[in-house]
């Protein structure tokens, strides 16, 4: 698989509605929360829990979920190492547009390789927040209602992260959440506290 060459006739268009104007309208900054971790580590569950809390506070959010993206945008990709790289590249570009649109965007992808996550960080810049959902593989297997780990261990699924394909743990994530020992509520609150500290939004006092 090769990435199509960029056209020499395209020029980036600068919109009159700027990101700063969107921030003022939304009453919050935009940011990319990049959840990474093994299958079953709680990425999607936690991303949606955080989004729900932000939504209830009136903020503009969207979750880019790994399975959902592969239904459309990345529906043509398999799960080889090369396809995984392209999957994350596309998601990174899409997430960057969401950030420019003033949205708090949350992505839930295994994204197993340092190189791909670093490229996403380079693309998005200081608005990229790597959140490592830390969970031992045995706990992930216990949570596996789809039976993916079992099928991977008997060879039915090839290139499965954590079994037949490596997962490279983040060495210096912006935030680590221990999803094996803490509840979803506790992990979500940890992330919201981080966002307040970052100045993404100000807590609303009742």
- Residue 48: phi and psi, rounded to 5, are -70, -35
Continuous H helices in the chain: 19-26, 43-56, 66-69, 81-100, 114-124, 137-142, 148-153, 184-198
The one catalytic residue in 30, 39, 41, 111 is 111
Determine whether 111 is an active site residue: yes
CA distances for 53 relative to 59, 108, 132, angstroms: 9, 17, 20
CA distances from 41 to 35, 44, 198 (A): 10, 9, 25
On whether the CB atoms of residues 160 and 78 are closer than 8 A, the answer is no
Q: Is 131 helix (H, G, I), strand (E, B) or coil?
A: strand
In degrees, to the nearest 5, what angle opens at C-alpha 51 toward C-alphas 30 and 40? 120
* Closest alpha carbon to 95 in 153, 47, 144, 165: 47
Specify the length of the chain in residues.
206
Residues forming the active site: 111
């Amino acid at each position: 698989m090769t990435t199509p060459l960029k056209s020499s006739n395209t020029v980036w268009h600068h919109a009159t509605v700027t990101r700063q104007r969107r921030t003022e309208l939304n009453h919050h900054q935009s940011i990319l929360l990049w959840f990474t971790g093994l299958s079953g580590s709680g990425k999607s569950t936690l991303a949606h829990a955080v989004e729900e809390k932000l939504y209830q506070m009136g903020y503009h959010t969207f979750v880019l979920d790994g399975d959902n993206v592969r239904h459309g945008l990345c529906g043509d990709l398999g799960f080889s190492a090369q396809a995984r790289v392209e999957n994350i590249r596309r998601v990174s570009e899409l997430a960057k547009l969401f950030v420019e649109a003033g949205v708090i965007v949350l992505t839930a992808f295994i994204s197993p390789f340092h190189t791909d996550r670093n490229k996403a960080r380079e693309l998005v810049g200081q608005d990229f927040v790597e959140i490592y959902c830390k969970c031992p593989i045995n706990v992930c297997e216990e949570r596996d209602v789809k039976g993916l780990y079992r099928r991977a261990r008997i060879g039915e699924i090839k290139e499965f992260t954590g079994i037949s394909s490596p997962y490279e743990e983040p060495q210096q994530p912006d935030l680590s959440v221990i999803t094996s020992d803490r509840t979803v509520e506790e992990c979500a609150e940890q992330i919201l506290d981080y966002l307040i500290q970052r100045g993404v939004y100000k807590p609303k006092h009742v």
